[in-house]
Homo-oligomer: A and B are copies of this chain.
Amino acid sequence: MTKRMFDTTCIGNAIVDVISKTDDAFLEAENLVKNSMNLIDMARAEELYAKMKSAIEMSGGSAGNTAAGVASLGGNCAYVGKVRNDQLGDIFTHDIRAAGVTFETAKSTSGAATARSLILVTPDAHRTMNTYLGACIELGPDDIDPEVIAASKVTYMEGYLWDPEDGKQAFRKAAEIAHAAGQRVSLTLSDSFCVDRYRAEFQEFIEGGVDILFANEDEIKSLYETEDFDAALDAVREKVEIACLTRSEKGSIIVKGSEIQTVPADTEIEVVDTTGAGDLFAAGFLYGFTNGHDIATSGRIGSMAAAEVISHYGARPTSDLKELLQKKLAVA
């Protein structure tokens, strides 16, 4: 048997998205902050679902979306996340494998059901997420396969994984294995409220050894408790090898030591649903980076992948990103 090699292994909360259109009045009535991710329990999930319009279901989960994106670009990708042996778990498993991602995490066979996120999309295309973590709380260090992590150029983890108690232990174990094998560790801050919950731990973890950090403007400002984006940028460039800072329609900034690259956003598309924008930016950047491209090109691949995913409902690409890449950027 030949040894398996991966461009990227993504670790995160394995979630099925339940996507429904809504209006601003509904968010207000339900006390939901637009663009945020709210953790909810099963009772609240049932209550909120009952009030939502007809929905569509699609596999999601931040790192799962990133993994699907890397694979769609032609990258060799593995995913680690926990579902239960139920119908939603079967859907998640099918979709990520059908996307071409290696997914071998054992399903839980008792306890909470597979996680779902009730995603409300307003007419301005912004998404507000309400996540019931379910079986995700069962993910732990034992689910980290040292061989897979050591064989991955980058191990990428979502900040959301700090929420389930054992998730961060899995996270730390994976980071140690990756570094011991001379590979890189990458983190996305996920959500500014998530940064609020774990600011000190995130700062410590980043200093301790995150090589590639992804964050949007709100998240990086929250991490360093500043209203000044440039101050946050200066703070983070000291701590990591590469920082990718996304700023929605203002594009993104990629910092590597003294080098700064700015990548414009694709403003020609009609934005339908912003869910997955950050996840797919990370997918594009990681695909580029692990396939020998410079940070500017990797950023442009990220920008292209993000543009694809926000042009339709759902957080995973519906086009073949590899084809798009060749057509739009003439990059193989």
Count identical subunits in the complex.
Answer: 2
Q: Known contacts being A88-B87, A113-B87, is A95 close to B54, with CB within 8 Å?
A: yes
Q: Known contacts being A87-B86, A87-B88, A94-B49, is A54 close to B113, with CB within 8 Å?
A: no
Chain B min CB distance to A181 (Å): 30
Cβ-neighbour of A98 out of B53, B68, B87, B88 (below 8 A): B53
CB-based nearest B residue for A314:
B56
5 A–B contacts from the bound complex (CB under 8 Å): A53-B98, A54-B59, A54-B94, A55-B95, A57-B58
Chain B min CB distance to A208 (Å): 35
How many A residues, CB 8 Å from partner?
A: 26
A237 touches B (CB below 8 Å): no
Do B98 and A57 have beta carbons less than 8 Å apart?
Answer: no
Do B57 and A56 have beta carbons less than 8 Å apart?
Answer: yes
Seed contacts A53-B98, A54-B95, A56-B58; 9 additional CB < 8 Å A-B pairs: A52-B94, A54-B99, A56-B314, A57-B57, A57-B91, A86-B87, A87-B87, A87-B113, A87-B114
By Cβ-Cβ distance, the 5 closest A-B pairs, closest first, are A57-B57, A87-B87, A54-B95, A54-B98, A56-B58
